[in-house]
Amino acid sequence: MRPVSYNIKKKPLEADISMVDMPEGHQGQGFFATTLDNVIGLARKNSLWPLPFATSCCGIEFMATMGATYDIARFGSERVGFSPRQCDLLMVMGTIAKKMGPVVKQVYLQMAEPRWVIAVGACASSGGIFDTYSVLQGIDQVVPVDVYVPGCPPRPEAILDGLMRIQDLVGKESLRRRNSEQYKALLESYGIQ
């Protein structure tokens, strides 16, 4: 038998591959100057560590988002953690029973500041089709939510879009926002000190 050979043509790097957008600043020959807020925002938005809290079919879609086809690692979120103390993005996916509400809140409280929350799917956002006494009608009843991803279940593209919306929020967030009176009032409205 003769060995089979394949003629594989490698494509040169395309010109449309884009790098991360530079923050606003002053640029010159051999230097770039910007504010500390912009540098920290750029670092934070491209190194989010998600904590998946998946209970239903939305978790399966998240697994597809982690796969090679959609590759959430392109957005700096490949390090999925299951310890709240090491993560800064809580992704709640699926139906949350009222008995699980305090658990979601405890996981949120164990996360270090700054922390962000995505409600993935109709059940996490609004209770979905389960308008019953035992299902929490949206996780925003127990923790503040930054981005809602609609769908039942949402496609992996929608989850990636929600992640990009969080990245936009994180990149533009001031370092002083978490110490503002408005933010403290928001946390107090959820019973969080």
Q: What are phi and psi of 150, to 5 degrees?
A: -75, 165
Q: For 71, left (φ over 0), alpha (ψ -120 to 50), or beta?
A: left
Residue 166, burial from CB neighbour count under 10 angstroms (0-12, 13-18, 19+) = buried
- Here the tokens at position 124 are 């996490």
To the question of whether residue 58 is assigned a binding role by annotation, the answer is: yes
Neighbouring CB atoms inside 10 A of 115's CB total 19
Q: What are phi and psi of 89, to 5 degrees?
A: -130, 110
- Here the tokens at position 87 are 């993560």
Neighbouring CB atoms inside 10 A of 26's CB total 8
To the question of whether residue 87 is assigned a binding role by annotation, the answer is: no
Binding residues for [4Fe-4S] cluster: 57-58, 123, 152
Binding residues: 57-58, 123, 152
